[in-house]
Amino acid sequence: MTADSTPDLLDSIELETGPNPTHAVIWLHGLGADGNDFAPIVPELRLPAAPAVRFVFPHAPVQAVTINGGMHMRSWYDILVMDLVRQEDAAGIRRSEAAVRALIARENARGIPTSRIVLAGFSQGCAVTLHTGLRLPEKLAGMMGLSGYLPLLDLAAAERQAANADTPIFLAHGDYDPVVNIARATASRDMLRTLGHDVRWHTYPMQHSVCAEEVADIREFLLQVLK
């Protein structure tokens, strides 16, 4: 961060489906990956030429990850224990929230309002997406959480903003995920629904990954919300 505590803008991969984009998708990768991880999904989505969409795939900072023996890798926050519940890196999650807010502000400065932005993420990126989306004071077009969970679950009700109370949330998970147990995802789904959020829940016969059926469902969701 700079001296005035403004987060440095993360380096990103950017792909545009057409000239002069009017909508954006900010898509966060998982632990140990980088912004290149999901870039190949853009042509697979087969989105129409209009409206033109800018896909932003930021690179998470490199930091030590406790569960991996302190190894340094790209990570949105530290993972302290395997069950993802007993201890959470709240400070790290909030730093990533600030970084995502800065990316949203850049899209705003480039002429794309928050109401035409979808936040998306896989695994750790899903966690930061849901955490940030609930706390934004401006309405998003949608949120997509893949193979992840809502972190700091006990704080969600108190800290969420009203702006995204009815924003569509696409949640998807593998039935056999060995990394983020589906029980963690269903607990997140149930909490969001209890709070009144519009959750579109999908499961697939897969592990901690993405499948063709899921890509098709993501496409349909984006066609609905990117209008």
Q: Is-catalytic flag, 123?
A: yes
Q: Are 182 and 125 in contact (CB under 8 A)?
A: no
Active-site annotation holder among 89, 177, 188, 197: 177
Which one, of 38, 66, 23, lies nearest residue 146 by Cα?
Answer: 38
Q: Which domain holds residue 208?
A: 12-61+89-225
3 located within any domain: no
Check which CATH number belongs to the domain holding 42 and give it: 3.40.50.1820
Catalytic residue of the set 123, 173, 188, 197: 123
* Max Cα–Cα distance, the chain, nearest Å: 48
Q: Which of 12, 59, 202, 208 is an active site residue? A: 208
Note whether residue 213 is domain-resident. yes
* Distance separating alpha carbons of residues 39 and 46, to the nearest angstrom: 13
In this structure, are residues 93 and 84 in contact, taking their beta carbons and an 8 Å threshold? no
**What is the mean predicted confidence (pLDDT) over 128-148?**
98
Domain count, the chain: 1
Asked whether residue 5 is assigned to any structural domain, the reply reads: no
Summarised one tens digit per residue, pLDDT across range 92-130 is 999 999 999 999 999 999 999 999 999 999 999 999 999
Residue 34 lies in a domain: yes
State how beta strands 117-122 and 71-74 pair: unpaired
Full DSSP string of 134-195: HH-SS--SEEEEES---SSGGGHHHH--GGGTT--EEEEEETT-SSS-HHHHHHHHHHHHHT
Q: List the Cα angle 16/19/25 in 5-degree steps.
A: 35
Give the confidence band of 6 by pLDDT, cuts at 50, 70, 90.
low
